[in-house]
Amino acid sequence: MTKIEMQKYRVQLRDLASRLRGEILKLRDEAIAAPVGMVAIPAEQAEIAAHEAEGGRTRAVLAQEEIVLDQVEAAIERIESGSFGLCGECGCALGQQRLDAIPYARFCITCAEKNELAST
């Protein structure tokens, strides 16, 4: 991989990390604001249930965004250490198409599929 390509991924990953941090802060604020376990009269119960369901969805999205941010930060560390673009399992090159699709990918498609099958 050329220095120019590496720099392109570095900028892309840093921008993505910055955007994710902003989204995570927003989602944390929403999760904190969501009412949980409130006591209400029957007419308000549906509204409270809807708020609680929305709070659950917000917390699920927040958890997923935090996972992606961790993966993005790990990819930035791999750039700095010189191992970016190599499969974390077999050591083969990930390939430009894979990195263009998922710049924080850690595994080649073959190893990713094996890991997915092993976890199911």
Structure tokens at 70: 């961790």
Q: What is the pLDDT of residue 57?
A: 86
Q: Is the pLDDT of residue 20 over 90?
A: yes
pLDDT tens, residue by residue, 53-110: 666 788 899 999 999 999 999 999 999 999 999 999 999 999 999 999 999 999 999 9
**Reported pTM:** 0.80
Q: Which residue shows structure tokens 């941010």?
A: 69
Q: By C-alpha distance, which of 110, 95, 73, 105 is closest to 5?
A: 95
Cα torsion at 31, 37, 38, 40 (round to 10°)?
130
CA distance 69 to 67: 5
- Is the pLDDT at 36 greater than 60? The verdict is no
Confidence bin at 45 (pLDDT 50/70/90): low
Helix/strand/coil for 93:
strand
